[in-house]
Amino acid sequence: MKWTQINVHTSSEAEEAVVQILLDMGARGVAVGTDGSGPVVTAYLAEAGPEAANAVQRRVAALAGFGLDPGAARVTVARVDDEDWAESWKRHYRPLELGRRLLVKPAWIDIDPGQRLVIELDPGMAFGTGYHPTTALCLEALEDVVKPG
């Protein structure tokens, strides 16, 4: 399935109204970020055509008639392929060297650990992957107190 990503560059004043416009048009959720000059509200609509973007543009511009400053009111559109998000995130995951001797890695990555001791943890399947500072500090502390045998 193809998705239509719609980004609306708006003002803080109109942000919530823009979110509602996108939800009313069929978005199941939205993300609000910033581009440095103001809020950017992003939503994904299932296989929406150019008419959807035009409708968003009209509705955002109409906010001024309700006393809201829509800001830039700039709408950008991109087509996005559907992806298996449950698997695709794995390509960005990297092994993590901790302390002097530890290497934390998921099972799907083959790597030569060299002299490091491997801790194999699959994210989502075990507590802690080493990326959170408290987990990293605990592992580094254990490195000093755990002795062979």
Does 41 share its domain with 113?
no
For residue 111, being part of any structural domain is answered with: yes
User: Which of 29, 53, 82 is a domain's end point?
Assistant: 82
pLDDT digits (tens, 9 = 90+) for 72-91: 999 999 888 777 666 777 77
Does 14 share its domain with 78?
yes
Does 8 share its domain with 58?
yes
For residue 88, being part of any structural domain is answered with: no
For residue 49, being part of any structural domain is answered with: yes
Euclidean distance between CA atoms 125 and 145, whole angstroms: 26
For residue 110, being part of any structural domain is answered with: yes
What is the C-alpha R_g of the chain?
23
Q: Beta-carbon neighbour count of residue 96 at 10 Å?
A: 17
The residues facing 78 across adjacent strands are: 5
Residue 97 has pLDDT above 90, yes or no: yes
If pLDDT is split at 50, 70 and 90, which confidence band does 1 have?
confident
pLDDT digits (tens, 9 = 90+) for 32-62: 999 888 999 999 998 777 788 899 999 999 9
How many domains are contained in the chain? 2
User: Which of 63, 82, 101 is a domain's end point?
Assistant: 82
User: Which of 27, 61, 82 is a domain's end point?
Assistant: 82
> Which residue range(s) make up the domain with 46?
2-82
3-state SS, residue 16: helix
Phi-psi region of 114 (alpha: psi -120 to 50; beta: other; left: phi over 0): left
Residue 85: the pLDDT is: 66
For residue 57, being part of any structural domain is answered with: yes
Does 15 share its domain with 77?
yes
Does 43 share its domain with 100?
no
Residue 126: the pLDDT is: 57
Euclidean distance between CA atoms 28 and 43, whole angstroms: 8
